[in-house]
Structure 1
Amino acid sequence: MGLFDKIFGNREKIEKTNIRDHHKGEKYFNKEIVRFSDIIKETIQETNLNAFNYWAISAKYQQIISLKFSLGIPVFQIVEDYSSALNYYIKGWDEKEATYADMLLMISLGILFQVSDGDFEQLVEYVRKTDANKKLDNWHPDGLIWFLLNSRSSHQSKATEILFPRIYGSLYEITKLSKPEAESALEKYLEKWYNLHKGDPWYNTHERDRGYCGYWAWEVAAVVKVMGLNDSSFKDNIY
């Protein structure tokens, strides 16, 4: 497994690492972690929290996870933040809204953090409810999401369509390849990964004074883990 096995594998062997990010420094990330933590505290103190509030709190925890990873904090120390993110994420399910990026991120991190079966089933149920929701326009079961979920869930899906094919279509196609072919294809995919996300709100945020959390291809790492690929040819890719 190489790099991903080293980072996300045996927790007892993980030691504090140097900063992982290539754009910002320790002072920046520590400041942003405090800022997002304060936002969470302020939001929780509000009364009558609704689905949007829960989703917003989860989104902040997701950003804190990336910030801490960018800073170089060992993964086993970040898992608690994922538990909090998942708790609020599940509470934030809304029949009128669904955000693909958050869903893919939470599933990918759940796989990489090796969460409990119970926690993973919460993600499965979240997706199943979303897929069955008739109030969402232009939503259907997604092949990449279910490829990841099928790796651990007893509720299998044969979904093959991709909701955002321009960005994730080629990654999904990689999941159908043999291991050697997938390893070669992923190396090429990572070279264009950042520019594929040019329309995302986090694109080029490293040029700002705040709001940048790091550029991490969590979904690619999750695919590597599920497929059991050797990442030695692309372990030095900055994403």
Structure 2
Amino acid sequence: MGIFNNLFGSKKQPQSEKENREEEVPDEVKRLKSRDGNKDSIFFYKTLNKIIKNRESVAYKLRDQYIQENNLVALKNFGNNISSDIYTYVSYWYSMGQPINENWQNFYLTNLKFYLLAINKQTLLNGLYTHSSKILAIGILLNIDRAEFKKISERYVEEGYEDFVLDGLVHLKYHPHPISDTLQFPNEIYIQKLSAILKSTSKQEAEAIVKDTLENHFYTRENLQAAYESHKTEFYSGYWAWELAALVKVMGLDDSSFKDNPYYPYDMVHWTGGN
């Protein structure tokens, strides 16, 4: 597992005060080339480790307790927080310059079950929308099996969880999934653009919309909200247009005209492992 022992939060021996002050960075990380233009690999490694330590102290202990107790009600209420690790960790690993591999898929699947528990119609309207779109997009980019998208589809249908963009992302991986005409947030430009790509009548039209969105509508305060200008903070994870990338991948679009865009996760789109 190598570096993943560090990234997943392996148990360490007590450190001296000096070691705590001067966190050792593995040579593997020092050799990485950041995929992000704002920060280097060491920044992302250290920031992720801070998050891991915080998760270990609170979230993971409660998660393990609820699993042991088979407390599904508590896990459902807690699932949104735990399943957010999917895009939090993947964003840091990707920005850091980590090679994409099957360990990322395994991590996704481990946390997906908490997302499945968290799905309900009310949370779609109160914060789970962006959470859901990122999880679906990263699942597509990591070549997660169709059977897992079937599970997501079943939970969406069971809870009456409807949105044209989210349904479209699921449908592209699991074709029996029904697609609602409803957009939960029809006034948001980024959502409008994703919808337009899904409705496009040709690959050329879809490609043009992706390019325009990356250049003019992704890095905006309206779209990124609290994450806007987060590169000025200590918990920056990168600006990655996961949803656009997922549509490019699953729709087989030509990305040559925007492959160098700083918000486009090119390596994830073209990763073919784990099939």
Per the normalisation by structure 2, the TM-score is: 0.71
Question: Of residues 141, 148, 152 in structure 2, which corresponds to 1:123?
Answer: 152
Output the CA distance in 2 between the equivalents of 1:51 and 1:104: 19
2:198 paired residue number: 175
* Contact 2:196/2:209 (<8 A) preserved: no
Gapped regions of structure 1 (runs ≥ 5): 1-15, 133-140
In the TM superposition, what is the alpha-carbon distance from 1:128 to its structure 2 partner? 2.0
* Contact 1:58/1:89 (<8 A) preserved: yes
SS in 2 for 1:145: helix
Question: Of residues 252, 257, 261 in structure 2, which corresponds to 1:237?
Answer: 261
* Contact 2:207/2:254 (<8 A) preserved: yes
Q: State how 1:107-118 maps to structure 2 within 5 Å.
A: 107-118=136-147
* Contact 1:187/1:234 (<8 A) preserved: yes
More relative contact order, 1 or 2 (CA 8 Å, 6+ apart): 1
Output the CA distance in 1 between the equivalents of 2:182 and 2:44: 37
2:92 paired residue number: 67
Output the CA distance in 2 between the equivalents of 1:156 and 1:198: 27
1:184 paired residue number: 208
Question: Of residues 128, 133, 148 in structure 1, which corresponds to 2:169?
Answer: 148
Task: Establish whether residue 222 from structure 1 lines up as the match of residue 246 from structure 2.
Answer: yes
2:225 paired residue number: 200
In the TM superposition, what is the alpha-carbon distance from 1:199 to its structure 2 partner? 5.7
1:93 paired residue number: 119
Q: What is the RMSD of the two structures over their aligned residues, measured on CA atoms?
A: 2.2
How far does the alpha carbon of each residue in 1:182-202 deviate from its partner, in whole angstroms, 9 at most, with x for none? 112211111121116456222
Q: Which amino acid aligns with 2:148?
A: D
Output the CA distance in 1 between the equivalents of 2:245 and 2:224: 21
Q: Percent identity?
A: 28
How far does the alpha carbon of each residue in 1:200-222 deviate from its partner, in whole angstroms, 9 at most, with x for none? 2222111112x211111010011
SS in 2 for 1:78: helix
Output the CA distance in 2 between the equivalents of 1:34 and 1:82: 18
SS in 1 for 2:109: helix
Segment of structure 1 superposing worse, 197-206 or 144-153: 197-206
* Contact 1:55/1:92 (<8 A) preserved: yes
In the TM superposition, what is the alpha-carbon distance from 1:171 to its structure 2 partner? 2.1
In the TM superposition, what is the alpha-carbon distance from 1:75 to its structure 2 partner? 1.8
* Contact 2:153/2:170 (<8 A) preserved: yes
> What is the aligned length?
215
2:135 paired residue number: 106
Q: Which amino acid aligns with 1:74?
A: P
Task: Establish whether residue 31 from structure 1 lines up as the match of residue 46 from structure 2.
Answer: yes
* Contact 2:88/2:237 (<8 A) preserved: yes
Q: Which amino acid aligns with 1:143?
A: F
Structure 1 segments of 4+ aligned residues over 6 angstroms from their partners: none
Q: Which amino acid aligns with 1:102?
A: H
Gapped regions of structure 2 (runs ≥ 5): 1-30, 67-73, 264-275
How far does the alpha carbon of each residue in 1:44-103 deviate from its partner, in whole angstroms, 9 at most, with x for none? 213444433232121134211100010111221422321233122223335642310111
- Structure 1 residues 24 and 224, CA, compared in 2 at 3 Å: closer, same or farther? same
Segment of structure 1 superposing worse, 58-67 or 154-163: 154-163
